[in-house]
């Protein structure tokens, strides 16, 4: 795919910290709208996945009709979104009124004073901040103050074709190991029928290929950094996990794996071209929608594969945040409040189908009878997967910074992307894992040196 190119967002995020600290004094943090001439149009940058595409469909005839606020969406692939939004927010560009960010960016950007705090607005009883799922709310906070509201939350799990497993006489355990997954992938790989044993991300990017790879690293006993900031990217454990992942996808993965991210694997698995898929729990809503999925009703769900740890799922949220540079903050909050509300979840269910309701954000969603019925195959395991994640202790050793599939420091977006480019190249056969991680170790040592000093 054309998206597999060198990314710059990580460099911008790390380098712009000092710029932001200087510029934050003139960042327009006022709470009202200064829209000039009564213009009630806001610009929203968001990621191009099914849940976000759903809200674009519903906005005009619902939110805009009720409020008079027009929403201009800028929908981008994940890596491109990170680049553009980071560049704009870090340099005080002011292009966006609402930005879609994740659990990685929220606390870092809040610390840098790039975002408007949301506690005062979200404390409105009608919004019911207490209904937000606790691990997700905490991940979007800094110093116990909320800086982004979750559109949806997720962990990761293993999705598999129940019919294909049954035909081979294989029973998927609730808590599979990675060695079992590799065994099943070999048994179910059917290249002549166009069915891969497993679909795994291979697209370069810290939030693409390195998200599942890092969860494998955690459960294989590895880590990016030890507690004292010793870099461990080329350690035996990190290397073993990465080699396992690369070997698995090369042997039994989907065609074009080096260019496959979440969206590509969603399409492949949903079209019946893979027997298993390890990725974000949010995928289940689309897979169970017969209007877009050929495998609806045929998918089983198991917890993220493990090796040395009891669990290994990641923790993430795509959330809506308000840059301090927005001059339309009242209108921006009206949109954010609507998009992350209980009423919006009901609207999606009634108009688009209950399996498509954004998961992992609100506790009340899991109490809706229609949602319970439509999502009965994945709702409970999604919620449990989110609740069992410990971002402070995701592996076998103490960590210097929080994060499951990332390290919660500004430099990680650049570091993770550079390593991800090398791992993607290894999947493509252009380099070896040892060579890839040797380069990654050098980059990690440069980052570590800053914190050790």
DSSP of 406-451: S-SSTTHHHHHHHHHHHHHHHHTTSS-HHHHHHHHHHHHHHHHHHH
Looking at residue 393, the DSSP 8-state letter turns out to be -
* Cα–Cα distance measured from residue 164 to residue 175, given in angstroms and rounded to the nearest whole number: 19
Give me the residue spans of the domains in the chain: 9-154+316-387, 156-314+391-452
Cβ neighbors of 56 (< 8 A, separation 6 or more) are 73, 75
The whole-number mean pLDDT for each consecutive block of 10 residues of the chain, a chain of 453 residues, reads 34 43 35 58 95 96 98 94 95 96 97 97 96 97 98 98 98 98 98 97 97 98 98 98 98 98 97 98 96 97 98 97 97 98 98 96 97 96 96 97 97 97 98 98 98 94
Contact call for residues 244 and 178 (beta carbons, < 8 A): yes
* Residue labelled with tokens 């879609």: 100
Q: State both tokens at 223.
A: 């880590």
What per-residue confidence (pLDDT) applies to 15? Answer: 45
What are the residues facing 47 on neighbouring strands?
Answer: 76
DSSP class of residue 327? S
Looking at the domain that runs over 156-314+391-452, which CATH code has it been given?
Answer: 3.40.190.10
Tell which residue, 267, 204, 251, has the closest CA to residue 413: 204
- Rounded to 5 degrees, φ, ψ at 41 are -100, 130
Spatial distance between the Cα atoms of 24 and 136, rounded to a whole number of angstroms: 27
CATH number for the region 9-154+316-387 comes to 3.40.190.10
Decide: 365 and 288 in contact? Cβ < 8 Å: no
User: Starting from the edge strand earliest in sequence, which strands make up the sheet with 98-101, in order?
Assistant: 70-76, 41-47, 98-101, 316-321, 149-154
As beta bridge partners, residue 43 has: 72
Q: Please list the alpha-helical segments (H only) found in 189-257.
A: 210-219, 236-252
Position 38 scores a pLDDT of 61
The tens digit of pLDDT for each residue in 30-78 reads 445 654 446 799 999 999 989 999 999 999 999 999 999 999 999 999 8
Closest-CA residue to 417 (of 443, 446, 451): 443
Cα separations in angstroms, 384 against 135, 153, 212, 379, 418: 11, 12, 19, 9, 33
pLDDT at position 32 is 57
Angle between helices 412-427 and 433-452 (to 10 degrees): 170
Which pLDDT score is estimated for 33? 64
Q: Is 33 helix (H, G, I), strand (E, B) or coil?
A: strand
Cα–Cα distance for residue pair 159/389, rounded to 1 Å? 18
- The pLDDT value recorded for residue 245 is 98
Q: What is the pLDDT of residue 79?
A: 87
Q: Which two tokens stand for residue 407?
A: 């390290």
The backbone torsions φ and ψ at residue 42, rounded to the nearest 5 degrees and listed phi first, read -115, 155
Residues 10, 11, 17, CA angle at the centre, nearest 5°?
95
Q: Are both 9-154+316-387 and 156-314+391-452 of the same fold?
A: yes
Beta carbons within 10 angstroms of residue 382's beta carbon? 24
């Amino acid at each position: 795919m054309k998206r597999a190119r060198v990314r710059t967002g990580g460099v911008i995020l790390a380098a712009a910290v000092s710029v932001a600290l200087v510029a934050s004094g003139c960042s327009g943090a006022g709470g009202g709208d200064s829209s000039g001439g009564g213009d009630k149009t806001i610009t929203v940058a968001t990621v191009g996945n099914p849940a976000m595409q759903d809200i674009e469909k519903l906005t005009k005839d619902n939110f805009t009709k009720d409020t008079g606020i027009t929403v201009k969406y800028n929908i981008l692939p994940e890596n491109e979104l990170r680049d553009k939004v980071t560049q704009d927010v870090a340099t005080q560009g002011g292009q966006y009124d609402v930005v879609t960010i994740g659990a990685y960016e929220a606390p870092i950007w809040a610390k840098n004073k790039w975002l408007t705090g949301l506690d005062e607005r979200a404390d409105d009883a009608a919004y019911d901040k207490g209904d937000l799922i606790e691990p997700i709310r905490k991940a979007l906070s800094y110093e116990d103050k909320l800086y982004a509201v979750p559109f949806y939350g997720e962990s990761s799990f293993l999705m598999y074709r129940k019919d294909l497993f049954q035909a081979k006489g294989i029973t998927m355990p609730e808590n599979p190991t990675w060695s079992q997954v590799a065994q099943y992938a070999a048994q179910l790989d059917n290249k002549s029928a166009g069915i891969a044993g497993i679909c795994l991300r291979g697209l370069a990017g810290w939030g693409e290929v390195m998200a599942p790879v890092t969860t494998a690293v955690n459960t294989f006993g590895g880590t990016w950094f030890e507690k004292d900031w010793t870099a461990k990217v080329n350690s035996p454990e990190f290397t073993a996990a990465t080699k396992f992942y690369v070997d698995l996808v090369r042997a039994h993965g989907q065609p074009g794996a080096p260019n496959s991210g979440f969206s590509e694997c969603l399409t492949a698995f949903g079209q019946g071209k893979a027997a298993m898929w390890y990725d974000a729990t949010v995928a289940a809503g689309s897979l169970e929608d017969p209007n877009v999925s050929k495998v609806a009703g045929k998918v089983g769900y198991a917890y993220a594969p493990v090796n040395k740890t009891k669990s290994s799922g990641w923790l993430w949220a795509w959330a809506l945040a308000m840059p301090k540079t927005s001059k339309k903050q009242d209108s921006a909050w009206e949109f954010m409040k609507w998009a992350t509300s209980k009423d919006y979840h009901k609207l999606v269910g009634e108009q688009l189908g209950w399996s498509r309701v954004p998961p992992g954000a609100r506790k009340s969603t899991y109490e809706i009878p229609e949602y319970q019925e439509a999502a009965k195959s994945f709702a409970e395991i999604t919620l449990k997967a989110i609740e069992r994640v410990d971002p402070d202790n995701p592996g076998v050793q103490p960590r210097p910074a929080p994060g499951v599939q990332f390290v919660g420091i500004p430099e990680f977006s650049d570091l993770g992307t550079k390593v991800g480019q090398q791992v993607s190249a290894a999947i493509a056969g252009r380099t070896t894992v040892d060579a890839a991680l040797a380069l990654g170790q050098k980059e990690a040592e440069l980052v570590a040196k800053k914190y050790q000093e």
